[in-house]
Chains A and B, each alone.
Chain A
Amino acid sequence: MTRTAKLLLLIPFCLPRGSLAGQALDPGWLTKPATDSWPTYAGDHSQRRYSTLMQIDTTNVRHLSLAWVSRLTAGAGGGEGGFFGPPAPSTMTGGVAENPVNIPGSTSGSPRLSGSILQVNGILYISSPDNAWAMDALDGHILWHYWWKSRGGTHVGNRGMAMYGDWLYVETPDDFLVSLDAKTGKERWHREIADFSQQYFSTTAPVVVGDHVLVGTGDDLDAPGFLQSFDPKTGDLQWKFYTVPMKKGDSGLETWASLDAAQHGGAQVWMPGSYDPETHLYIFGTGNPTPAYTARVRAPGGDTNLYTCSVVAVNVDTGKLAWYFQTSPNDTHDWDSTQPAVLVDGMFEGKPRKMAMQASRNGYFYVLDRTNGEHLLTMKFSDASNWAAGINAKGQLVRNPEKDNTIAGSLVSPDNGGATNWYPPSYDPPTGLFYVVLRELYSMYYLTSKDPRMIMGLGGSEQVGVGSLGTSIAAIDYQTGTVAWRYRFEGSAGGFGGATGLVTTAGGLLFANDGSGNLVAFGLRGTQRPVPLWHAHIGSIENAAETYTVGGRQYVLVTAEGALYAFYLQ
């Protein structure tokens, strides 16, 4: 071997990790705590949304200032395109519809940026329904824009993209998984992931684990839920895990009135899951049973309807069920259990435990042993929640039938938006606290039909909002099963304030949307209520803030009203 050849061999080991991979994502980053990149939906596979970065901390956060703003436009004209600004990149177009369904925010106008944004090697990757962009993380300059011509579907949101090497993956509301070349934005392939005629729609962020792209989808009619795994290179289906029994002999069938009821039973997988590299388990939540608001056709005897409203663990290589825990058996309120199962290693009752924790839409918080699904703790984190009669020996909620949808009307909290919903919580190891956005709203729930056979999907219920105690950040101490503190947002009693998610940092900070248009940095003080140390009014904030390092500087990134806002210390 020549001396030159030896030198060439050494080069890869000498380069900083950014340039080693060029633009590509090193898959090893996905299982490490979020640091200088943000390579997957929650920053890392634990879904803690805790960053070890500490350049910005409680002592200097008051100097946090704007680095740049970049405003996005959806649809065919979706580049930068400012009259006095740099030229817009041309939009690349995909999709199967010749004439896309006109949907403001998708085909034109300001996109809804309610998902996570990836930051890999100094490039941001952003998505909204039917749209994707790449952007320079230093100045918000748009590198490319991709637009999917849609055949329709519920365009409620898009939770972000996944990355594997130089390739990106995004789901569309009309049920395609699209893979893009991260360097150019050019489409590599698209695959149909669900039957559009059954009103499936796809909003969630795919998650890359090893050589798997894990893809969930959603449906609000009576259709079965499933999680699929695709080959990142070819887009071939590797496995498909149904969350309800689909044939005779399937486990859980005994919890349904009939096979037909199970096959129409819902349990959609519409949020990204967590991944535990030690056990190879992908841990995710499932949605409500369907029809949602009456159990009479699917569980007349009080059956549980597996695996609806559950935390479910499957082996990522085989797609086989490892364990499950059902949070709301026989649900009649649309209490999806799709919220993140946050992976935490810590002490529980004096013993070290590997746990999965979920603050669920139904107003209760659960701690499970993530290696086997053993139930450890159930506690109520919403004082207002009034629909349950109690907790059974397994730690599951037992419904109070008087708080179902009734013909005469029942006063129920949470309202349909839930005690919490899609917005990400955060677990902060130094304080051992789990932070979640809590909504305490009430509705009158009316059953609209005496014949349960008339009720399908999310029909059969009229819900009228009648009041709110407000929106808060709740800090849950899982060791004591108590809420250490609640920080209620002033002016938030309308109910939606702050409900876009949280992030914590090793700098002792928690970033939140206060529902009044402010991004707020709170200084954490353990079990004492936090204090706002910094804020910036940027309008209606749409996603959970993220933090990462580019060029040696820590940034905080958040979206509001179709634009990205990046902050750093000047």
Chain B
Amino acid sequence: MHSRRRFQFLGIVIIEFAATMCAPQSPAQAPPRAAQPAEASRGGNRAPDYPVRRPAPPEQVAHGQQLFKSNCSFCHGSDGRGGESGPNLVRAQLVLADQHGELITPIVQNGIPAQGMPKFSLSGVDIAAIAVWLHSQPLSDRGAPSTLDILVGNAKEGEAYFNGAGHCTQCHSVTGDLAGIGARYEPKTIQNLIVSGGRGRSFGRRSAGSAPPKVPPTTVMVTLPSGQTITGDLDHISAFVVALREPDGTYRSFARHDSIPKVVVTNPLQWHLDMLPKWRDSDIHSLTAYLVTLK
């Protein structure tokens, strides 16, 4: 999903719906993605970053799970991720280094008396099955989206905010552009749209068949020293160049020297940008609760 290299940022404001999927240097130092070996492949022909164990026969995995539940889960939790007295085994260094139970077997058969782990008279075959099941457990859901219900807000308060303090009605209407939005998008997508205003390199998950929201482009007006003005959709801008597309599609660019030519950029989502430092999370949540009712 991510690109290691560069992104073209076109326009003065680009709001990334998928910033965490695209950041060149995101969580910790690495780009975000599934850390689990089985999911480590980034699509296409990219090989996984870390060793992938060959999938075991399902009956061996099921056998291992059964053995784990009856022998190990009391201390280590039914999912192996730690319990009252035993540590998380899925991420344990020894389990990660183990291939076929060869490191786990002596621990199980001999116990670790100093740490309160008893020994178990399980056969090598059984312990290998336990190892296979442990190795089948996902290590991390890094990059996976939330599937939890995010709706906590009060729809009535959201409606009041929409029509009052939020000034949303200056641009939006529940019978116009937002009509039926609750049927078009998932609640989480609606919530993200409330904050971002809807422009992005990629668009979040949405209900099948619904199109991304239409966001008017950022425009620019360039005034030359002669007084002539050129107006169009902003293509790109730096301290040295401004470039635009005129309504007929003609591309034009101008060198910039200090304040010549005069450049005025108009971003229709400016309100959403200006709100970023001001939002209260409770207002975002209430607005979401209200907009999802617009079916």
Contacts and interface: CB of A to CB of B under 8 A. Distances in A.
Q: Does chain A bind chain B?
A: yes
> Is chain B's binding surface mostly helix, strand, loop or mixed?
loop
A495 interface: yes
Nearest to A203: B29
Interface in A423-455: 441-444, 446-450, 453-455
Contacts of A535: 239-240
Contacts of B276: 384, 411, 413, 442, 466-467, 469
A459 B5 contact: no
Contact of A196 (B50, B90, B196): B50
B93 A223 contact: yes
Interface in B229-253: 236-241
A458 interface: yes
B160 interface: no
B142 interface: yes
B27 A448 contact: no
Contacts of A282: none
A263 B147 CA distance: 30
Contact of B45 (A102, A409, A443): A102
A561 B6 CA distance: 9
Contacts of A497: 9
B273 interface: yes
B18 A468 contact: no
B15 A467 contact: yes
A417 to B, nearest CB: 5
Contacts of B32: 416, 458
Nearest to B27: A458
A467 B150 contact: no
Contacts of B188: 409, 446
Contact of A494 (B5, B9, B153): B9
Contacts of B140: 220-221, 455-459
Nearest to A173: B49
> Is chain A's binding surface mostly helix, strand, loop or mixed?
loop
Interface in A461-483: 462-469
Interface string B274-294: 001101010011000000000
A514 B93 CA distance: 43
Nearest to A258: B87
Interface stretch (B60-68, B74-82, B208-216): B74-82
A523 to B, nearest CB: 13
Contacts of A407: 146, 148-150, 152
B145 interface: yes
Interface residues of A, number: 100
Contacts of A568: none
Contact of B25 (A260, A417, A446, A540): A417
A153 B146 contact: no
A487 to B, nearest CB: 9
A236 to B, nearest CB: 23
Contacts of A198: 93, 96-97
A457 B4 contact: no
B171 interface: no
Given A105-B4, A458-B142, A465-B17, A297 B82 contact: yes
Contacts of A453: 77, 79, 81-82, 88
Given A409-B191, A469-B276, A218 B9 contact: no
A386 interface: yes
B145 A448 contact: yes
B195 A444 contact: yes
Interface residues of B, number: 80
A532 B239 contact: yes
A490 B30 contact: no
B20 interface: yes
A292 B239 CA distance: 38
B50 A270 contact: no
Interface centre among B15, B90, B237, by most chain A C-beta atoms within 10 angstroms, is B15
B25 A422 contact: yes
Contacts of A463: 19-20
Given A407-B146, A458-B142, A464-B17, A152 B49 contact: yes
Given A407-B150, A464-B17, A467-B196, A197 B12 contact: no
B144 A459 contact: yes
Contacts of B148: 407, 446-450
A260 B9 contact: no
A381 to B, nearest CB: 15
Nearest to A514: B238
B281 A518 contact: no
B157 interface: no
Contacts of A190: none
A517 B91 CA distance: 42
Given A220-B28, A444-B191, A465 B18 contact: yes
A195 B93 contact: yes
B35 A416 contact: no
Interface centre among B7, B9, B145, B284, by most chain A C-beta atoms within 10 angstroms, is B9
Interface string B131-163: 000000001111011111111110000000000
B266 to A, nearest CB: 14
A199 B35 contact: yes
A180 B207 CA distance: 55
Given A156-B4, A408-B152, A457-B139, A468 B15 contact: yes
Q: Which 7 interchain pairs have the tightest Cβ spacing?
A: A465-B19, A540-B6, A494-B9, A516-B238, A459-B140, A465-B16, A494-B14
Interface of B: 4-7, 9, 11-20, 23-32, 35, 45-51, 77, 79, 81-82, 87-88, 90-91, 93, 96-97, 139-142, 144-153, 188, 191-192, 195-197, 200, 204, 236-241, 272-273, 276-277, 279, 281, 284-285
6 contacts: A156-B25, A222-B91, A288-B28, A416-B32, A457-B35, A465-B15
Interface of A: 101-103, 105, 112, 151-157, 195-199, 201, 203, 218, 220-223, 258, 260, 263-264, 268, 270, 287-288, 292, 297, 334, 336, 338, 383-384, 386, 402, 406-411, 413, 415-417, 421-422, 441-444, 446-450, 453-460, 462-469, 489-497, 499, 514-518, 520, 532, 535, 537, 539-540, 561
Given A220-B140, A449-B148, A496-B7, 14 more contacts: A152-B47, A154-B30, A154-B31, A195-B93, A220-B27, A270-B28, A383-B277, A408-B285, A409-B284, A442-B195, A442-B276, A448-B145, A464-B19, A515-B9
